[in-house]
């Protein structure tokens, strides 16, 4: 086992022009959602994007639109095309500016006929990616993403808040050999923790396939002797298997009593396979970045559908019925959700939503002239810049006043990005559509 470093610079990804994007842009005119909390979602997507269910990314869109994560941590991803389709879909929803790292094919031996991988999709308004790497194990990669908060004060010398995100899919199935395989994978990560800075902010998420809290892999993860000490939000709840367990709302698998479309598992909700663990540094309210107590939940599981379908949890459930139905069809796992808090997130929110914004007073769809307004622009010392979807700069103009217009008559139909930039830094951006 070892550590393969595959450095990945931050890369912009771009939307694909479609009717969905057109509708999303018309409905969400240069809007930004408040980002005072960092929303995390971990989800086993079950052989994505193929599987045996048509229109899977549309099914996933219902779940993402309900949870609206800034960071989506994915398991059972088959290829780069699947990752791209998820990113496009999240951008279509209009609540962030989403991108992803390069897809890294599995490096560990694994099962040659079933080389599933992990990855992330993240909101570049909130998070940036420093590097993407792989921790090798005897079975399947554990993916590492070194990220940092997009603090608007970084340019003024503020310390960078790094977050080490690890996403895994441990070996499945019962039996001592499979338990040892899970332990071996976990030990590879624990050994890797010796190579990252002490007291690092660490998120370890994924499908752990653990059957109890006495499994060697779980015991190893929770050891206080590790270089990075991990914490389970529900550690105090005790061992989770069995009908007598008092907190069935934390169970994560399976969403279906019977196998559907000959894919995934059946049996109903009765296992806890999916986790998001945090380093000690993220569990203290005194930490500048920390877990928000009470924010963790197994989406849609009220605890009242043990050994049943997730759709049987529809009574007194804050999750809408159509979202429960989407979860039933999407995967045999339940997505895991939680939130982190930081003053930096408040600064990011203020930077994107607060004192300065680009808006389009006549709408963000045009065939010739695009009218824009700059709110609370201060000294008017920046440039308006327009890029196409390939990142090519089409126009740059010094801002002369807070209201202006752009002649778009020579550009082809499609989606464009307008930014306001000053001193080499992008202050705000918005999307607009040319349609003829």
- pLDDT tens profile 335-349: 999 999 998 887 886
- pLDDT classification of 261: cutoffs 50, 70, 90: confident
**What confidence category does residue 322 fall into, taking pLDDT thresholds of 50, 70 and 90?**
very high
Work out the average pLDDT over 310-323.
94
Cα(first)–Cα(last) distance of the chain, in Å? 56
Q: In this model, does residue 125 exceed pLDDT 50?
A: yes
Q: In this predicted structure, what is the pLDDT of residue 11?
A: 36
CA 433 – CA 366 distance, rounded (Å) = 6
Structure tokens at 68: 């609206």
- Packing angle of the helix pair 19-27, 80-93 (nearest 10 deg): 30
- Asked whether the predicted pLDDT for residue 5 surpasses 60, the reply is no
C-alpha 145/C-alpha 5 separation (Å) is 11
Model confidence at 28: pLDDT above 60: no
Helix H segments across 306-396?
Answer: 321-330, 343-353
| Of residues 283, 282, 328, the one with CA closest to residue 305 | 328
Residue 25 pLDDT greater than 90, yes or no: no
% of the chain surpassing 90 pLDDT: 66
Residue 249's SS3 state is helix
Predicted confidence (pLDDT) per residue in 176-189, tens digit:
999 999 999 999 99
Query: What domains does the chain contain, in order, with CATH numbers?
Result: 3-347 (3.60.10.10), 356-434 (2.60.40.1930)
Query: Residue 419: pLDDT above 90?
Result: no
pLDDT tier, 389 (very low <50, low <70, confident <90, very high otherwise): confident
Is the pLDDT confidence value at 143 over 50? yes
The mean per-residue pLDDT over the stretch 233-250 comes to 97
Question: Which residues does 420 contact at the CB level (< 8 Å), separation at least 6?
Answer: 356, 358, 374, 377, 382, 383, 384, 385, 399, 426, 427, 428, 429
What local confidence, expressed as pLDDT, does residue 52 receive? 63
Per-residue pLDDT at 53 exceeds 80: no
**Joined tokens for residue 254:** 């399976």
> What average pLDDT does range 354-379 have in this prediction?
74
pLDDT at position 397 is 87
DSSP 75-109: EEE--HHHHHHHHHHHHHHTSS-EE-PPP----S-
Least confident interval from 78-82, 112-116, 159-163, 287-291: 112-116
Give me the pLDDT at residue 378, please.
52
Sheet holding 127-135, edge to edge: 3-4, 127-135, 142-149, 162-169, 202-207, 274-279, 230-231
Q: What is the pLDDT of residue 352?
A: 56
Q: How high is the mean pLDDT of the chain? A: 86
The band of 2, judged by pLDDT with boundaries at 50, 70 and 90, is low
Q: How confident is the model at residue 375 (pLDDT cuts 50, 70, 90)?
A: low
Distance CA 39, CA 296 (A): 10
105: how many CB neighbours lie within 10 A of its CB?
Answer: 10
CA distance 182 to 175: 11
CA distance 6 to 366: 42
Tell me the C-alpha distance between 110 and 185, whole Å: 11
CA distance 237 to 235: 5
Q: Which residue has the higher pLDDT, 427 or 194?
A: 194
Sign of CA dihedral 253, 255, 257, 262: negative
Q: Is the model's pTM score more than 0.85?
A: no
What is the Cα–Cα distance from 211 to 253, expressed in whole angstroms?
Answer: 11
Gap between the Cα atoms of 275 and 208, Å rounded: 7
pLDDT for 351: 63
- How far CA 212 is from CA of 174, 346, 372, in Å, comes to 11, 38, 57
Given a cut of 60, is residue 145 above it in pLDDT? yes
């Amino acid at each position: 086992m070892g550590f393969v470093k595959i450095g990945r610079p931050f890369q912009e990804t771009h939307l694909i022009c479609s009717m969905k994007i057109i509708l999303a842009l018309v409905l969400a005119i240069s809007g930004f959602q408040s980002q005072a909390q960092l929303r995390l979602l971990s989800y086993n997507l079950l052989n994505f994007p193929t599987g045996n269910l048509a229109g899977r990314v549309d099914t996933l869109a219902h779940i993402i639109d309900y949870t609206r994560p800034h960071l989506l941590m994915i398991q059972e991803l088959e290829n780069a095309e699947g990752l791209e389709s998820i990113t496009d879909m999240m951008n279509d929803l209009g609540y962030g500016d989403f991108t992803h790292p390069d897809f890294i094919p599995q490096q560990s031996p694994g099962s040659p006929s079933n080389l599933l991988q992990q990855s992330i999709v993240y909101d570049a308004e909130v998070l940036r990616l420093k590097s993407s790497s792989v921790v090798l194990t005897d079975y399947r990669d554990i993916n590492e993403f070194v990220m940092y908060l997009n603090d608007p004060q970084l340019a003024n010398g503020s310390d960078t808040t790094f977050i080490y995100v690890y996403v895994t899919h441990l070996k499945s199935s019962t039996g001592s050999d499979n338990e040892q395989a899970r332990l071996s994978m976990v030990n590879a990560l624990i050994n890797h923790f010796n190579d990252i800075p002490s007291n690092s902010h660490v998120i370890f998420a994924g499908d752990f396939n653990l059957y109890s809290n006495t499994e060697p892999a779980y015991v190893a993860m929770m050891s206080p002797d590790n270089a990075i000490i991990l914490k389970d939000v529900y550690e105090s709840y005790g061992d989770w298997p069995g009908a007598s367990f008092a907190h069935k709302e934390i169970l994560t698998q399976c969403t279906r009593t019977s196998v559907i479309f000959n894919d995934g598992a059946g049996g109903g909700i009765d296992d806890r396979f999916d986790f998001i663990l945090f380093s000690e540094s993220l569990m203290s309210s005194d930490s500048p970045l920390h877990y928000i107590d009470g924010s963790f939940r197994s989406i849609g599981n009220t605890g009242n559908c043990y050994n049943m379908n997730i759709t049987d949890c529809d009574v007194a459930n804050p999750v809408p019925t159509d979202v429960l139905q989407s979860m039933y069809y999407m995967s045999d796992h339940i997505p895991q959700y939680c939130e982190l808090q930081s003053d930096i997130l408040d600064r990011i929110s203020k930077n994107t939503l607060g004192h300065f914004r680009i808006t389009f007073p006549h709408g963000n769809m045009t065939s010739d002239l695009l009218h824009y307004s700059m709110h609370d622009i201060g000294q008017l010392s920046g440039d308006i810049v327009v890029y196409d979807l390939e990142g090519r700069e089409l126009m740059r103009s010094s801002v002369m006043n807070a209201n202006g217009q752009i002649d778009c008559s020579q550009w082809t139909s499609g989606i464009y990005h307008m930014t306001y930039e000053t001193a080499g830094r992008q202050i705000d951006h918005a999307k607009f559509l040319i349609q003829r």
